[in-house]
Amino acid sequence: MTKPAERSAARLAAVQALYQMDVSGKSVIDALAEFEAFWIGREVEGIEFKPSDIEFFRNVISGVVENQRSIDVKVDKTLSEGWPLRRIEAVLRAILRAGGYELMYRKDVPARVVITEYVDVTHGFYGDDEPGLVNAVLDNLTREVRPGELEKKAAGQGKR
């Protein structure tokens, strides 16, 4: 697999692990160990879990856990009033936290890549309004934590 494909698989695995941690109360160490030993790069009950960039997977999981308070505050600001992150369904919460972590703390990953990747992950779980919600929240978050990044890219595209 290519490096981008392994990163995409790592993002999906990270969302699944964060979800599992959220609903079951598993620790970071337990979730990392379980996913690395039994899920990533394996076939489980007829579902193939693609090989992942393990270091990136670990970084996203540990980064979300270490910075969850600040991520949640920023994501809450982008959600509609009366719908804080804690009221959002657990898979969506995991997606928004992982995307928020990358936007806030992984400046080496372009914001457009982060948004596109997590919208794609969302499509894997939902088919209705949720991908649009993830797109809007991560777009708004980008404009706050990486001011001008989306505009710079858009301006450069018009000059082709």
pLDDT in tens, 56-112: 999 999 999 999 999 999 999 998 777 788 889 999 999 999 999 999 999 999 999
pLDDT one-digit tens code per residue, 129-153: 999 999 999 999 999 999 999 987 5
3-state secondary structure at position 88: coil
Find tokens 């858009």 and name the residue: 154
CA–CA separation, 153 and 148 (whole Å) = 9
pTM for the model:
0.90
